[in-house]
Structure 1
Amino acid sequence: MDEIAILSRWLAAQGVELAPGTGLVLLGGGLANRNERIMLASGPAVLRRPPPGELAAGASDMGREFRVMSALSAHLPIVPWPLAFCDDPAVLGTPFLVLEYRAGVAIAGTMPEGAGAETGPLLVDATLAQMIALHALEPGAVGLGDLGKPEGFYARQLAGWTRRAAAVWPEGMPDVAARLIAALEAVAPPGDDAPVLLHMDLKPDNLLVDPVTMVPTAVIDWDMATRGPRGFDLAVLLSYWIEPGDPVAVQALRAVPSLTPGWPGRAAIAARYAALGGRDPGPLAWPLALARLRLAVAWGQLWRKWQRGEMVGDRYAEFETLALAILDHAGDEFRQDRI
Structure 2
Amino acid sequence: MNKEPKGLENLLPYLETHFGLDPDSTVISQFKGGYSNLTFLIRSPAGEYVLRRPPLGLKISKAHDMVREYRVLEALKKAGYSKVPDPIVCCEDENIIGAPFFIMEKVEGLILRNRIPEGMDLNASFFRKLSQNTIDGLLDLHQLELHQSGLSQLGKPEGYVERQVMGWSERYFKSKTDELSEMEAVSDWLKANMPEKENTGFIHNDYKYDNLVLAGAGNPAIKAVLDWEMATVGDPLMDLGTSLAYWAEAEDSDTLKMFNLTYPQGNFTRSEVVAYYASKSPLNLDQILFYYVFGLFKVGVIAQQIYKRFSLGFAEDPRFGALIHAVKACGERALNSIQTNKI
TM-score (norm 1): 0.90
Identity percentage over the alignment?
28
Which residues of 2 match residues 30-69 of structure 1 at below 5 A? 30-39=34-43, 42-55=46-59, 57-69=61-73
Alpha-carbon shift at residue 101 of structure 1 (Å)? 0.6
Q: Aligned pair in 2 of structure 1 residues 266, 37: CA closer, same or farther (>3 Å)?
A: same
Aligned equivalent of 2:143, options 119, 136, 139: 136
What's 1:78 paired with? 83
- Say if 1:46 and 1:101, in contact at 8 Å, map to a contact too: yes
> Which amino acid counterpart does residue 67 of structure 1 have in structure 2?
R
CA distance in structure 2 between the aligned counterparts of 1:291 and 1:87, rounded to whole angstroms: 32
Secondary structure at 1:141 match in 2 = coil
Alpha-carbon shift at residue 211 of structure 1 (Å)? 2.6
What's 1:185 paired with? 191
CA distance in structure 1 between the aligned counterparts of 2:275 and 2:317, rounded to whole angstroms: 37
Of 156-165 and 73-82, the range deviating more from structure 2: 73-82
CA distance in structure 1 between the aligned counterparts of 2:129 and 2:45, rounded to whole angstroms: 35
Give deviations 1:203-227, integer Å, cap 9, x for gaps: 1100011232112221110011001
Q: Aligned pair in 2 of structure 1 residues 281, 96: CA closer, same or farther (>3 Å)?
A: farther
Of 1-10 and 24-33, the range deviating more from structure 2: 1-10
Alpha-carbon shift at residue 312 of structure 1 (Å)? 2.5
| Corresponding position: 1:242 with 2:248 | yes
What's 1:279 paired with? 282
What's 1:197 paired with? 202
Q: Aligned pair in 2 of structure 1 residues 39, 242: CA closer, same or farther (>3 Å)?
A: closer
Which residues of 2 match residues 95-174 of structure 1 at below 5 A? 95-112=100-117, 113-169=120-176, 174=180
Alpha-carbon shift at residue 25 of structure 1 (Å)? 2.0
Q: Aligned pair in 2 of structure 1 residues 57, 4: CA closer, same or farther (>3 Å)?
A: closer
Q: Aligned pair in 2 of structure 1 residues 263, 335: CA closer, same or farther (>3 Å)?
A: same
Q: Aligned pair in 2 of structure 1 residues 331, 252: CA closer, same or farther (>3 Å)?
A: closer
Of 113-122 and 91-100, the range deviating more from structure 2: 113-122
CA distance in structure 2 between the aligned counterparts of 1:332 and 1:147, rounded to whole angstroms: 35
CA distance in structure 1 between the aligned counterparts of 2:27 and 2:266, rounded to whole angstroms: 42
Alpha-carbon shift at residue 152 of structure 1 (Å)? 0.9
Q: Aligned pair in 2 of structure 1 residues 4, 301: CA closer, same or farther (>3 Å)?
A: closer
What's 2:217 paired with? 211
| Corresponding position: 1:226 with 2:232 | yes
Aligned equivalent of 1:270, options 263, 267, 274: 274
Q: How many residues align?
A: 333
CA distance in structure 2 between the aligned counterparts of 1:200 and 1:212, rounded to whole angstroms: 28
What's 1:29 paired with? 33
Q: Aligned pair in 2 of structure 1 residues 8, 191: CA closer, same or farther (>3 Å)?
A: farther
Give deviations 1:253-311, integer Å, cap 9, x for gaps: 42112221343211101112234x33335221111111111100101111112222222
Give deviations 1:90-149, integer Å, cap 9, x for gaps: 221111110011011221223343112211012112211221111121111221112122
> Which amino acid counterpart does residue 282 of structure 2 have in structure 1?
R
Secondary structure at 1:121 match in 2 = helix
CA distance in structure 2 between the aligned counterparts of 1:168 and 1:237, rounded to whole angstroms: 23
- Say if 1:84 and 1:97, in contact at 8 Å, map to a contact too: yes
TM-score (norm 2): 0.89
- Say if 2:141 and 2:202, in contact at 8 Å, map to a contact too: yes
- Say if 2:211 and 2:226, in contact at 8 Å, map to a contact too: yes
- Say if 2:30 and 2:39, in contact at 8 Å, map to a contact too: yes
Alpha-carbon shift at residue 179 of structure 1 (Å)? 0.9
CA distance in structure 2 between the aligned counterparts of 1:254 and 1:281, rounded to whole angstroms: 30
> Which amino acid counterpart does residue 16 of structure 1 have in structure 2?
F
CA distance in structure 2 between the aligned counterparts of 1:63 and 1:92, rounded to whole angstroms: 14
- Say if 1:153 and 1:190, in contact at 8 Å, map to a contact too: no
- Say if 2:131 and 2:267, in contact at 8 Å, map to a contact too: no
> Which amino acid counterpart does residue 97 of structure 1 have in structure 2?
F
Of 94-103 and 183-192, the range deviating more from structure 2: 183-192
Alpha-carbon shift at residue 240 of structure 1 (Å)? 0.9
CA distance in structure 2 between the aligned counterparts of 1:135 and 1:154, rounded to whole angstroms: 16
Give deviations 1:57-107, integer Å, cap 9, x for gaps: 422221221011011124122111111112232221111110011011221
- Say if 1:155 and 1:190, in contact at 8 Å, map to a contact too: no
Alpha-carbon shift at residue 36 of structure 1 (Å)? 1.1
> Which amino acid counterpart does residue 88 of structure 1 have in structure 2?
D
